[in-house]
Amino acid sequence: MATDFMLLQRYPKEGVVRYRHYDWRSPSFTFGYSQKVSFVRSQLPPGEVVDLCRRPTGGGVVDHRDDWTYSLVVPRGHPFEEARATQSYRAIHEALAGALVAAGAKVTLKPVAEPLPAGDPGGPAGICFQRAEIFDVVHNESGAKIAGGAQKRNKRGLLFQGSIWKPAAGGTSVNWDLFSGNFVSRLAAALDATAEPSPWPEFNPDELEGLVEQYSSPDWMEFR
């Protein structure tokens, strides 16, 4: 989470979108910036030790124990950053859904929004994969949510953090290596860009360490 935000806040590259896919070193859950931590803790698996972190983006509680996580950093002034949130969300998920179908998953985009449940203690987002929002990726037979994401815009640009719940997508029946390369190609096409490997920016070690400490601190976790 700290690295994603660092890429947006300190190292945007003019005219260039940064994409990265990453795994988790231990069982982990993240939750949206505006969610109440008391609700989040009530949703964690009882008796299991997990890492927990508040994201800089919105959205609900996300279980990362068997997911496929990625992020996009779009600099200020890029046409994709200037698009409406629903437009950017849809474009990313159209690329993702197309890549999943090519890799063997049975998915589609959710075409309509549904009324929010009354009195949801988790806020509008609640538990990310319990309820699909418009333009989320869902199973085209069961309707189960497969992929979602959350966005943050500031003066530096746009950060999009996304997650695919692999069991709902088909688990080991999906060719994830094929999906990964296809997703990058489709994202590049949606962004009117050329996909190419890019070295990491030379982070200021003290700055990154300070941000990691902030994201690990009780003040960050508990402030809502």
Over the chain (224 residues), the average pLDDT of each successive run of 10 is 87 86 95 93 93 93 96 93 93 97 95 64 64 89 92 94 95 95 96 89 80 87 78
Residue 206 lies in a domain: no
pTM given for the model: 0.90
- In the chain, how many domains are there? 1
pLDDT digits (tens, 9 = 90+) for 167-198: 999 999 999 999 999 999 999 999 999 999 98
Distance of CA 96 to the CA centre of its chain: 12
> What is the chain's alpha carbon radius of gyration, rounded to the nearest angstrom?
17
Contacts 24+ apart (CB under 8 A), 131-136: 134/86, 134/110, 135/86, 135/89, 135/90, 135/93, 135/109, 135/110, 135/111, 136/93, 136/109, 136/110
Using one digit for the tens of pLDDT, what is the confidence trace for 37-54?
Answer: 999 999 999 999 999 999
Determine, yes or no, domain membership for 214.
Answer: no
- Domain housing 159: 2-194
Q: Does 207 map to a domain? A: no
* Ordered alpha helix ranges (H), 109-204: 166-169, 176-190
